[in-house]
Structure 1
């Protein structure tokens, strides 16, 4: 059992991050042509725009919330005047609001991809798998935040999961820390690492293709062509 725990909480995260890094390098070097979001907007636009808007507006604060909760030690939060009560209020209410926004966006996008036959036919297996996995990850995150924290109010992930997570970056992760972590948190964490392993081989790579050069680019002029008789 000790070997299994070490694989799950030490080896597996490093495997996922190694695939994430080297997979992106490989994909960029050999498959630049398919480095795209492969939009299906021309097939269906209304659900895509609404779902995508909810998802993107929600996921950005959620990501920053995860960074704050996992990367910043409790002592640092207290030093900045953010006590445990204030932190948990922010995590539950503010985090819950943006979490629900992200979840609803993913439900719409996933329903659209599976229910509209023309969109489904255009989708690859990786598209369907990533949509399903992202929906599951967001759902488990919301379940852990709202349900597990309510059922087990004495559990504080900042004293367990966050410590384990930070130790990963110092190559000093202790799997014993994760032994008493609730199952919902464990599933959320492991599927979160799994999506990083899938990332380089899916349409998620478009996240890194932010068109910053558009800001300083000259305007493109379009002129109507008048046919001559």
Structure 2
């Protein structure tokens, strides 16, 4: 029962919250669909922390997409051996994971230690910071330490199979029962962030000003 709750019910509840929450907020709260800027309060730590986080998170995300969504039979068919794949995942993913972790440490330190930034932050801002810091930390820990401590574990034969089953509405919680704790915490935290996403500043990820690309003019209005 606990296994079904953690690996079937909880992920679907988070996905449902992600979809419904975004629809509701887009319809009724578009004016707050952004992140409150605190750059004018403190710039130096924000500059380095944000830069390192964004440099690291994109390759990390793409690595997760490949690792979870692409069966190992497909990579073998492309001529990529399992050993070569794991080397790339460990060293490439680990490198960018560390960059992301350092960025999150700087951003979290800034939010909690700079008094003015802390006052500007809502409870959800702090929760998001701590959750992102934890998920990146536990991911790096799993990559460098758990894979050494449990050398026989292969997430592409357990987590990836379970995840793809989740996407086609036929998840098998049995695949997650033998997964090391650090990987389990990484997965559960990821779904928790997905579930909370629409109700936090994370929605600003979707606010990319695409309509400004190629635009040759800017309208300025004078306020009296």
Supply the distance in 2 between the matched residues of 1:94 and 1:185 (Cα, whole angstroms): 18
Q: TM-score, normalised by structure 2?
A: 0.96
Supply the distance in 1 between the matched residues of 2:69 and 2:186 (Cα, whole angstroms): 17
* CA deviation after TM superposition for structure 1 residue 37, in Å: 1.2
* CA deviation after TM superposition for structure 1 residue 220, in Å: 2.9
Runs of 4+ in 1 over 4 A off after TM superposition: none
What secondary structure, in the 3-state scheme, does the structure 1 residue paired with 2:101 have? helix
**Structure 1, gaps ≥5 residues long:** 223-229
* CA deviation after TM superposition for structure 1 residue 214, in Å: 1.2
Q: Deviations over 1:69-125 (max 9, x none)?
A: 000001001001111110111011111110000000000000000000000000000
Q: Write out aligned runs for 1:59-78 (5 A).
A: 59-78=57-76
Partner residue, 1:191? 189
Q: Deviations over 1:16-61 (max 9, x none)?
A: 0000011001011111111111110010111111100000010000
Partner residue, 2:159? 161
**Structure 2, gaps ≥5 residues long:** none
What secondary structure, in the 3-state scheme, does the structure 2 residue paired with 1:42 have? coil
Partner residue, 2:21? 23
Q: TM-score, normalised by structure 1?
A: 0.94
Supply the distance in 1 between the matched residues of 2:126 and 2:167 (Cα, whole angstroms): 32
1:147 is aligned, of 145, 148, 159, to 145
* CA deviation after TM superposition for structure 1 residue 216, in Å: 2.0
Supply the distance in 2 between the matched residues of 1:149 and 1:94 (Cα, whole angstroms): 15
Who wins on radius of gyration, i.e. which is larger? 1
Partner residue, 1:225? none
Supply the distance in 1 between the matched residues of 2:166 and 2:22 (Cα, whole angstroms): 21
Partner residue, 2:205? 207
What secondary structure, in the 3-state scheme, does the structure 2 residue paired with 1:119 have? helix
2:48 is aligned, of 47, 50, 58, to 50
Aligned length: 220
Partner residue, 2:178? 180
RMSD: 0.9
